[in-house]
């Protein structure tokens, strides 16, 4: 038994839900990746590289410290592990990261088109805009640097140009919800754009005003996480 077993189980369960929903692009591949931070540690549990989700057991998942060293797991971690670690290091409010190839959100990465604030409940949940992160090859420093450059907007979802989507949040449950909200918003936005008619967005100033609710929650989460860390690490 490992103290990380509950986290491994949660990551695998989330992967299977995303796979069944078609958020990884296929149901029989190994695209996409999921991670979660361990409470009170600079440690994450992340999916391994190149193994179908239906073939995984919790024991197959990788445990990494924030330096990228593998603490547990028989397989190499996802090639996107550095991107996940960068999200945790640059966004202390984040405790989970999900990278998907969900189709409707991914479509906006092909036309390099961000998604504006269309619904008030979505603006509160995932942010005042879903920005496009410029293209970088999977696992490359270019992609990592491009992602980091966008994180200071404190939003929970991003589109990866010619790649997919990146979602993050305070828990895997919440981040899964954010990925679902992103896909719903992207789908509805595509339908609206297809009519050729003018798109109405939320009134000017309202999205950022609503997002203050989110940033307050993020600040509370940062404080909660800091209180769990060993005194020398705070």
- What residues are labeled active site? 80
DSSP state of 48: B
Q: Which segments within 38-141 are labelled E, that is strand?
A: 43-46, 62-65, 70-72, 96-100, 115-116, 129-133
Q: For residues 123 and 109, what is the distance between their CA atoms, to the nearest angstrom?
A: 20
State the DSSP code for 229.
S
CA distance 135 to 161: 5
How far is 178 from 56, CA to CA, in rounded Å? 24
Q: Answer yes or no: are the C-beta atoms of 11 and 36 closer than 8 Å.
A: yes
Residues 6+ apart with CB under 8 A from 111: none
Candidates 211, 107, 119; CA nearest to 160 is: 107
The secondary structure of 55-81 as a DSSP string is G--GGGSEEEETT--EEE-SSPBPTTH
């Amino acid at each position: 038994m490992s103290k990380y077993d509950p986290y491994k189980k949660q990551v695998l369960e989330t992967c299977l839900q995303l796979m069944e929903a078609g958020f990884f692009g296929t149901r029989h591949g190994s695209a996409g990746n999921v991670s979660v931070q361990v409470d009170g540690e600079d440690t994450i549990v992340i999916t391994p590289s190149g193994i179908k989700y239906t073939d995984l057991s919790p024991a197959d998942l990788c445990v990494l410290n924030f330096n990228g060293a593998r603490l547990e797991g028989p397989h190499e971690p996802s090639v996107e592990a550095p991107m996940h670690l960068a999200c945790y290091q640059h966004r202390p409010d984040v405790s989970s990261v999900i990278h998907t190839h969900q189709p409707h959100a991914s479509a906006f990465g092909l036309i390099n088109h961000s998604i504006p604030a269309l619904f008030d409940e979505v603006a509160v949940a995932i942010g005042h805009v879903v920005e496009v992160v410029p293209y970088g090859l999977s696992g490359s420093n270019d992609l990592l640097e491009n992602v980091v450059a966008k994180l200071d907007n404190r939003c929970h979802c991003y589109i990866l140009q010619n790649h997919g989507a990146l979602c993050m949040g305070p828990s895997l449950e919440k981040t899964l919800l954010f990925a679902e909200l992103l896909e719903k918003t992207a789908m509805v936005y595509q339908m609206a754009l297809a009519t050729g008619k003018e798109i109405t967005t939320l009134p000017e100033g309202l999205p950022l005003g609503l997002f203050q609710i989110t940033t307050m929650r993020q600040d509370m989460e940062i404080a909660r996480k800091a209180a769990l860390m060993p005194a020398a690490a705070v």
